[in-house]
Structure formats: C-alpha cells, structure tokens
C-alpha cells in the first residue's frame, strides 16, 4: 500500500462532498466508527470534534485511526486510509468547523455549536492508502 493519496483519488478529498467514516480505538482496544466531516490540506485529512467527546479522548490517547471514504457518485470507488493523528490543536478550530459547515451544508456558521464546547482540530497523516475502483 502507498502512503500517499494517488492524484486520481484526490477528488474524493477535495472535490466531491462526501463523509469520511473515521475509526478510532477505545480504551479497551475495541474500535468505534462514525461518519465525520473532513477537509484535506494537501498532506493531512483534517477532522474536527469537541474537547471531551469520545473521539477526542480516543485520538488523544491512541493516535492510530482509519478512514473509509466512498465516492458519492460510485459506491464501488473508495479510499481506505490507515493513519496517525500527528497534531491536535484548538487553534483555528472554530474557523475550521465553519469552513466544514460551508462545504457540507452551505451555511456560514456551524448551527449545532454548544456554548460550552471547545472545538478541536485533528490532523491525520495517511500512512497506508488503498484505493478501490
């Protein structure tokens, strides 16, 4: 498996609007997986959560994650990424969730913000990339 996203699959990261199914590891070693919004900075898949949530706790404790990203126009074309969270930061996380909101639902500001939550960015470096289709 390559460790970079092939040019021919970068449309799934930057062009089309699709979810990533992000798997993280629980304290007991079992997996959990949920659909998430994401962006791509050319090197990292960037996701956004809030401090204290399950995914936040998992990614802070165990950096190994995996992503499955389907082409919304062809379910038999997808990217499978195994990677590592290499940076966790609150810097820019509010702007980032607003940018994701724009990308995914066309609104300027994240509508489900809770007044007490602290948004967090996680930068995932792909280590193994497999493509299908």
**Of the candidates 39, 56, 57, 80, which one interacts with its own copies according to CB under 8 A?**
80
* Shorter beta-carbon distance to its own copies: residue 26 or 91: 26
Distance (Å, whole) CA 48 – CA 93: 7
- Which of 39, 51, 57, 82: binder of its own copies (CB under 8 A)? 82
Q: Per-residue DSSP letters for 15-77?
A: TS---EEEEEE-TTS-EEEEEE--EE-SS-EEEEEETTSHHHHHHHH--EEEEEEEETTEEEE
35: contact with its own copies by CB under 8 A: yes
Q: Site residues for its own copies, window 90-129 (CB under 8 A)?
A: none
- The contact mask relative to its own copies for 44-73 (x = CB under 8 A, - = no) is ------------------x-xxxxx-x---
Q: How many residues bind its own copies (CB under 8 A)?
A: 26
Measure Cα distances from 3 to 55, 62, 68, 84, 129 in Å: 24, 20, 15, 12, 5
In angstroms, the CA 8 to CA 30 distance is 33
With binding defined as CB under 8 A, does residue 74 bind its own copies? no
- Positions touching its own copies (CB under 8 A) are 19, 21-26, 28-35, 62, 64-68, 70, 75, 78, 80, 82
């Amino acid at each position: 498996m390559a460790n970079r996203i092939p040019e021919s699959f970068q449309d799934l990261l930057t062009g089309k609007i699709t979810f990533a199914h992000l798997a993280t590891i629980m304290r007991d070693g079992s997996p959990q997986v949920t659909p998430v919004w994401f962006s791509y900075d050319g090197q990292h898949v960037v996701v956004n959560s809030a401090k204290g949530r399950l995914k936040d706790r998992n990614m802070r404790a165990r950096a190994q994650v995996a992503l499955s990203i389907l082409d919304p126009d062809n379910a038999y074309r997808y990217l499978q990424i195994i990677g590592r969270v290499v940076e966790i930061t609150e810097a820019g996380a509010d702007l980032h969730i607003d940018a994701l909101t724009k990308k995914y639902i066309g609104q300027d500001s994240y509508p489900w913000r809770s007044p007490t939550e602290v948004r967090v960015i996680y930068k995932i470096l792909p280590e193994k990339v497999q493509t299908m289709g």
